[in-house]
Structure 1
Amino acid sequence: MKEAAPVYGGIEAGGTKWVCAVADAGGRLRDTEVIPTTTPETTIAGATRFFQRHEGLAAIGVGTFGPVDLRPASSTYGHITATPKPGWAYTDVVSPLRAALGVPVRVDTDVNAAALGEWRRGAGEGLATFAYITVGTGIGAGAVVNGRLVHGLLHPEFGHIRIPHDLGRDPFAGSCPFHGDCLEGLASGEAMRRRWGRPAEHVDDPSAWELEAEYLALAVVNLTYTLSPERVIVGGGVPKHPSLLPAVRARVLGLAAGYPAPGDAAAMGGYVVGPSLGDRSGVVGAVELARDATGSHGHDAGSSLLE
């Protein structure tokens, strides 16, 4: 009997849903399934069943919400740690998948996975240093520096940086359970929901989006002067509002105040951009983590991601 061609699994493990996918040796997605994030046991079991339906599984990559232990030598590698997600604190994500499927499992943050996907297949292709910011229920960032995903003492927790908060303009105390008015506490989708009394996608007050652009522009300027990325990709649900990214670009120029920055308004259009892969950045990046785990990360430029 002919042996099945190898396939690579990816999981974008989010707080509301897990997006599972398998891809062929060229990185093209062949099948996907969305599993609601309920309890750890139920959610991981659903993902396991999805991958058990596919022959030739070589490895799995997981891009997960966090915080998560990414130290390979740690006894808690692959464990979600002090997350505010009810029922998920200190959950082992890697071991149950590895035991049930018998393949290598590599884990990273959801935003690092999205950054990896955009680097290999999207708006970060050809760049040595760039950053990916996601603005959804929370805020996070992943970064590639000199061709490597950034890890260190912790994985980057960019959503928890402190930014100026003008209480006269915005008296909202912030939504972060740890820091109150950090970037995530002021500018995430959850912050918008609490401040304006409805989900971000239903907020139509121009002043609300002007304030959101202010906070995100402050974040981009801080990131620009700290990391010096060649491009900043801004994804997630909140930036889908059509006025937001143009307003962020304009405000970044204003905040830069003529100090060396990406350039003029025309250059800014290629500096602060949306993700080329849209909502698939994370799961594509998770597949790339799986391919890295087996040393097969070369890709076919321009190939279709879902055929």
Structure 2
Amino acid sequence: MLYLLYGPDTFRSRQKLNDIIARAEALHRDKLSLLKIDLAEEDIDVLERELETPSLFAPLRFVVLNNLTDKEKIKKFEVLAEKLNLSKSKESIVVLYEENPEDKNILIKLVSEKGKVQRFDLLSKTGTVSWVTNFFLNRKIKIDADAILKIAEGIGPDLWRINNECEKLAAWAVNPKTKISTEDVLKLVVFENESNIFAVVDAVLTKNSSKAIYDLETLVTKGEDVTGIFYLLVKQFQNLSQLFALAQKGSLPANAAKILNIHPYAATKLASSLRRWPEKDLKSIFDKLAAYDLAIKTGAQDARLSLTMLASGL
């Protein structure tokens, strides 16, 4: 089989790629060989060797190709696809994964004649509202229609950011009776790319106590409501805990980002913090987060004090 997935909405194209991989894994289990080739660094010969070398242990080859932009490489790929009859092959699945291919017309024509092509444009406002609505419906979390509209209008069609903010809201709304309001969204969601907000999170993850407190106070001085930072931290530590569990099996799998449903760059950045967080420290931080979460929701203390205490104890 041969696929081309392309377009500016890399969140949905990545989901589609993960779906194709998951279906192949479910059907073939341990008989699947998965390989990713970046053609900005490798030549088509690498793909040819992979597809033509027989294997008794993994008879089905699944290859993801990035950066098939060079015209000479496209021509070589066309010859190889014809030679191996990729359009009808039951031994090989090749996915061309491109954000914005330079010679997209050539690729579209090539793949449409031999396989399947799917373009992922950025969602419209209506499409973004629908995506956010389904996010919370699938998790059985109640949210006001105006709150959904605020998320869609405030962030736009960047589903990587929207997904991150929705995950943060979901971590906050753990009580099944909670209904997320517009006021909650305004308090918790980051609508602008405020570097200091992410600086606080990064400082906590790297156990830089003094920097975390300094950046936190900078935000407070600007009048920023820091409640959203607390729940962003909750989500980040949930992801870190999952990465820790995966790493316990020996090494982080190549599809760690897929498992966590986060951007590959975010997964790589988070993984770099793992060595700073042994199991006992992770358990301790989760105990503190749970206690501070309760304190914030009951009004016993605010998010600023909770974050300051959390950072002070790093």
Q: TM-score, normalised by structure 1?
A: 0.30
Relative contact order higher in (CA < 8 Å, ≥ 6 apart): 1
Q: TM-score, normalised by structure 2?
A: 0.29
Instruction: Considering fraction of residues, name the structure with more strand.
Output: 1
Instruction: Considering fraction of residues, name the structure with more helix.
Output: 2
Asked which structure has the greater CA Rg, the reply is 2
